[in-house]
Chain A
Amino acid sequence: MNLFRSEEDVRAFSGFERGTEEAVMPLAEYAMLWGIENYRARAWDDYITRLPELQAERWELLERLGRRKTPFWDPPAGFLPE
């Protein structure tokens, strides 16, 4: 989970793996993802209790960003509350 000077630097990075293109995103998109309530709520005193209910927004945002064409961002089984 690192930052790079440019998209070209990501693709030239020794740790870049084919099939992970949906994780190559501009800084502004990662800032949006790390700006959902799951992260804002870390200032709350009941954050750990509320954590499970804060997850769905991540996938709604990824959908809006057009980043759900491959399974890369899929949550693990049982991760989201029923």
Chain B
Amino acid sequence: MTDASLLDRTYCIIRDEMRETGRAPHYAEMAGALGLSVEESRRAVYDLMNTPFPGWLHPGMDHVASFPPFSNVPTHHRITVEGEQKWSAQCGFESLAMCWLFPGRTIRVDTYCLHSGEPLRVEMCDGEMLLAEPETIFGYVSVPFAKWRENKPFA
């Protein structure tokens, strides 16, 4: 089992890369920064995904699929930071937490209503809601909280 400090460092490397580039590094890319062998780096990523942190790997692969609030797979929750669109959010709710990783910057969420198909737009900065179009937006999840970890992609 990877120690807590190494889990924190593994988390920070992936988080920072996703914030800067919009994509998650592969464990082989991270080994040098972690000061580990490639296999030890792979194990650290797996151990991180087994903590309560709600990220996950692509099924059957070693690639990071989701690393909240980001998704490494393009989703319909597109994130724009000060005019630059290169991120996807893990889900509609996580799109609302994106602002915490971009302090002082305006985050725009462009997504779609899963019933009507109508476009929705939200803008936030440091937790403050600057815009919601339309103003009637609601959120919904059908899976009870206690079951979120049983199948994270479908919660």
- As a 0/1 sequence over residues 88 to 110 of chain B, the CB contacts with chain A under 8 angstroms (1 = contact) are 00011111110011010000000
26 pairs, A vs B, C-beta closer than 8 Å: A1-B94, A2-B92, A2-B140, A3-B111, A3-B114, A3-B120, A4-B114, A5-B113, A5-B118, A6-B136, A10-B140, A14-B115, A17-B142, A23-B141, A24-B139, A24-B140, A25-B140, A28-B129, A33-B93, A35-B97, A35-B127, A42-B69, A71-B144, A73-B144, A76-B145, A76-B147
In chain B, residues 45-61, which have Cβ atoms closer than 8 Å to a Cβ of chain A? 48, 51-53
State how many angstroms separate the Cβ of B6 from the closest Cβ of chain A.
10
Q: How many chain A residues touch B (Cβ–Cβ < 8 Å)? A: 47
Q: Which residues of A contact B12 (CB under 8 A)?
A: 45, 47
Assuming the A-B contacts A1-B93, A40-B100, are A27 and B132 also in contact, with contact meaning beta carbons closer than 8 angstroms in the complex? yes
In angstroms, Cα B141 to Cα A33, docked, is 13
Assuming the A-B contacts A16-B142, A42-B97, are A31 and B115 also in contact, with contact meaning beta carbons closer than 8 angstroms in the complex? no
Secondary structure call for the B interface: mixed
Contact A15 B142 (CB under 8 A): yes
Contact B115 A13 (CB under 8 A): yes
Q: Which residues of B contact A35 (CB under 8 A)?
A: 96-97, 100, 127
In angstroms, Cα B142 to Cα A59, docked, is 18
Q: Which residues of A contact B132 (CB under 8 A)?
A: 27
Contact B138 A43 (CB under 8 A): no
The residues of A with any CB-CB pair to B shorter than 8 Å are 1-7, 9-10, 12-17, 20, 23-31, 33-35, 39-40, 42-43, 45-49, 51-52, 55, 71-76, 79
State how many angstroms separate the Cβ of A28 from the closest Cβ of chain B.
7
Contact A47 B11 (CB under 8 A): yes
